[in-house]
Amino acid sequence: MLAIGLMSGTSLDGVDAALIETDGEALVRPIAFRTEPYSDSARAELAEATALALTFDRPRASPPIVAAGELIVRTHAMVVQKLLRDAGVAAAAVDVIGFHGQTVAHRPDRGWTWQIGDGQALADATGIVTVSDFRSADVAAGGQGAPLIPVYHAALAADLEKPVAILNLGGVANITWIGRDGALVAFDTGPANGLIDSWMEAETGQRYDANGQMAASGRVEPTVLDTMMDNGWFDLAPPKSLDRNDFTVQPARGLSAADGAATLTAFTAQTVARALDHLPERPRRLLVAGGGRHNATMLAMIASATGSTPEPTDALGWDGDALEAQGFAYMAVRRLGERAICFPGTTGVPAAMTGGVVHRPSAG
């Protein structure tokens, strides 16, 4: 099948869109990928919706959140058109879209997770069958609802020597461990770029620490780092997942911009090291995807903290910026075939299960 995957992460930087050919099993052929950045006004609108959603005890309609959901659909529909134009592929040739939507709150401890963006509206706008709401069924069954990409990581890594681990450094970091027998263990490890991005925007007006240059010019403050690591969540056995807002930059307040960036980057590295202690066996390779792989200072700190050499997935021919979007395309194909996307070792769901709601374009 030809499938499009759409991902808008907690960093609120834009929409990733990937077109792949896949059978939902071992065959995966990337065809096209593009990123569409959000405007400043769109980022502000989504940030407002997220801040509001976090005040609720359960998902419910609210005008700013409804408006943000409509923005998500408009933006994603536009990106689909641009991706198809880039690839020279007609919409009628595409079998399915995997539409993640925008997470505004993730509270599996309260029995819910909330991704805005109407899958039916996107199906109608594009004329393509759309799968959305990938996480809710897992949470309803007692799972964490995240991470979901491990099933795709396993397909990509089928021919690699095991055990191997894939570390995704997005707003939040998560890791997938694949054992010699194909067993999967996956969980969120802690903040990745999220806190650093928030710090940089507040302290310098920049959206992120380009290549880790600010962190490289600063000094890690050990007292602050120890305070941030003194959190029982890191000792919890997986599976486990996070909302980006479960951690804040507050402990770093009062540090210089450079020292704060260095300390928050070291925090990410230490949480990755702690996560490796939860794996059944040390991985032979630590492959790194997501925006954080562009941060040389972060990778150096992870190497120092873990004793492993983080390898960007691009060295294997995997586009580390595209993997999450590709993963939702892959999972959409699996959903159409009623195949599992969630597993006890990845989300803590009691038994392997599929997920996602299928929306077919309305007639006319």
Residue limits of CATH 3.30.420.40 in the chain: 2-143+324-359, 149-308
Helix/strand/coil (H/E/C) assignment for every residue in 268-316: HHHHHHHHHCCCCCCCCEEEEECHHHHCHHHHHHHHHHHCCCEEEHHHH
Tell me the residue type at 329.
A
The pLDDT value given to residue 364: 58
Over residues 327-347, the pLDDT tens digits come to 999 999 999 999 999 999 999
Q: How far is CA 119 from CA 83, 134, 308, in A?
A: 18, 11, 41
Q: What is the CA radius of gyration of the chain?
A: 19
Q: Is 11 annotated as a binding residue?
A: yes
Q: Distance from CA of residue 36 to its chain's centroid?
A: 16
Residues 2-143+324-359: name the CATH superfamily: ATPase, nucleotide binding domain (3.30.420.40)
CATH number of the domain located at residue range(s) 149-308 in this protein: 3.30.420.40
Contact in structure between 332 and 326 (CB atoms under 8 Å): no
User: Is the peptide bond between 239 and the residue preceding it cis, with omega within 30 degrees of 0?
Assistant: yes
The pLDDT value given to residue 335: 98
List for the chain the helix, strand, coil content (%; round to 5): 40, 20, 35
Contact in structure between 169 and 291 (CB atoms under 8 Å): yes
Over residues 215-253, the pLDDT tens digits come to 999 999 999 999 999 999 999 999 999 887 889 999 999
The pLDDT value given to residue 245: 82
Burial (0-12, 13-18, 19+ Cβ within 10 Å), 362? exposed
The pLDDT value given to residue 336: 98
Q: Is 12 annotated as a binding residue?
A: yes
Helix/strand/coil (H/E/C) assignment for every residue in 145-165: CCCCCHHHHHHHCCCCCCCEE
CA–CA separation, 86 and 91 (whole Å): 12
Q: Is 127 annotated as a binding residue?
A: no
Q: Is 171 annotated as a binding residue?
A: no
Query: What is the pTM assigned to this prediction?
Result: 0.94
The pLDDT value given to residue 125: 98
Exposure pattern of 111-144 as b/e (b: 16+ CB <10 Å)? ebbbbbbbbebbbbbbebbbbbbbbbbbbebebb
How many Cβ atoms sit within 10 Å of the Cβ of residue 73?
21
Q: Encoding tokens for residue 194?
A: 């999220």
Q: Where in the chain does DSSP place strands (E)?
A: 2-8, 14-22, 28-37, 96-107, 112-116, 130-132, 164-169, 172-178, 184-191, 285-289, 310-312, 357-359
The pLDDT value given to residue 13: 87
The three-point CA angle 314-273-109 to 5° equals 95
Location of structure tokens 């039916």: 120
Q: Strand 172-178 vs strand 164-169: parallel, antiparallel, or unpaired?
A: antiparallel
The pLDDT value given to residue 78: 98
Residues of the chain with pLDDT under 70: 364
Q: Which residues contact 266 (CB under 8 A, 6 or more apart)?
A: 220, 225, 301, 305
